[in-house]
């Protein structure tokens, strides 16, 4: 992989980490609020169903995970197993696409 591509992956990893940090904080605050106010799962779903703001937030969360995790996994696999090249890139791309699919499925379950 050329230097420019590696630099872009490095930047994507760092920016997705920043988005993830913000999303995790918002998610934890929301969970703490729900638990402290005694909200049931049905009440939480009642508040999230059809709410485009929450759907957008969790879609952003999913996108950040789908970018961040495969890049990190690619680096770990490359360093520990010595697996490099196009086949590794394709494998982590597939993992990223699966994360998007599964994540958006979860978002739809909460939103739809």
Q: What is the pLDDT of residues 10-23, one digit of tens each?
A: 999 999 999 999 99
- Band the pLDDT of 3: cuts 50, 70, 90: very high
Query: What local confidence, expressed as pLDDT, does residue 112 receive?
Result: 86
- Band the pLDDT of 63: cuts 50, 70, 90: very high
> Scanning the structure block, which residue is given the tokens 């890139």?
89
Residues 106/100, Cβ–Cβ less than 8 Å: no
Residue spans of alpha helices (H) in the chain:
3-36, 41-48, 52-81, 86-111
From the list 95, 109, 92, the residue with the least C-alpha distance to 58 is: 109
3-111: in CATH 3.30.70 = no
As given in the structure block, the two tokens for residue 7 are 């630099």
């Amino acid at each position: 992989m050329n230097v420019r591509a590696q630099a872009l992956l490095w930047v994507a990893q760092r920016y997705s980490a920043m988005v993830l940090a913000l999303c995790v904080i918002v998610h934890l605050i929301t969970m703490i609020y729900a638990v402290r106010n005694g909200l049931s799962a049905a009440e939480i779903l009642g508040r999230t169903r059809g709410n485009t703001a929450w759907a957008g937030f969790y879609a952003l969360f999913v996108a950040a995970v789908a970018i961040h995790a495969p890049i990190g996994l690619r680096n770990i696999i490359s360093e520990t197993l010595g697996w490099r090249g196009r086949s590794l890139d394709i494998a982590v791309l597939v993992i990223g696409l699966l994360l998007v699919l599964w994540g958006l499925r979860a978002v739809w379950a909460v939103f739809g």
